[in-house]
Amino acid sequence: MDDASGLGRTERAVLALERRGFTGPGAKERAIREELGLAPVRYYQLLNALLDDRRALAHDPVTVNRLRRVRDRRRSER
C-alpha cells in the first residue's frame, strides 16, 4: 500500500533500513535478505534510484541527503 508520499512499501522499507546502524560484517546484507526478501544487488539498485526520486526526498530528506553526499563523495574519489 502506498502512503501519502507516493512511495510503495518496499521503497519505504529500503529507506527505513538505511536509517538503521549495523554492527558486524554482513549484518546489513543479512537484514536485506531476511527483512526485505531482496538480494543485496537489487536492494542497492533500488536505493540508488530512490536517491534521485523527489518522492523519497520528501519522505525522508535527512536519510536521502546523507546518502546523496556519500554517493557524491565516492564518485569524486574515482
pLDDT 10s digits, 53-68 = 999 999 999 999 999 9
- CA angle in degrees (0–180, nearest 5) for 53-54-59: 100
Alpha-helical regions (H) of the chain: 9-19, 27-31, 40-51, 54-59, 61-77
Lowest mean pLDDT among 3-7, 37-41, 73-77: 3-7
**Stated pTM of the model:** 0.87
Q: Is 21 left (phi over 0), alpha (psi -120 to 50) or beta?
A: beta
Mean pLDDT, residues 20-25 taken together = 86
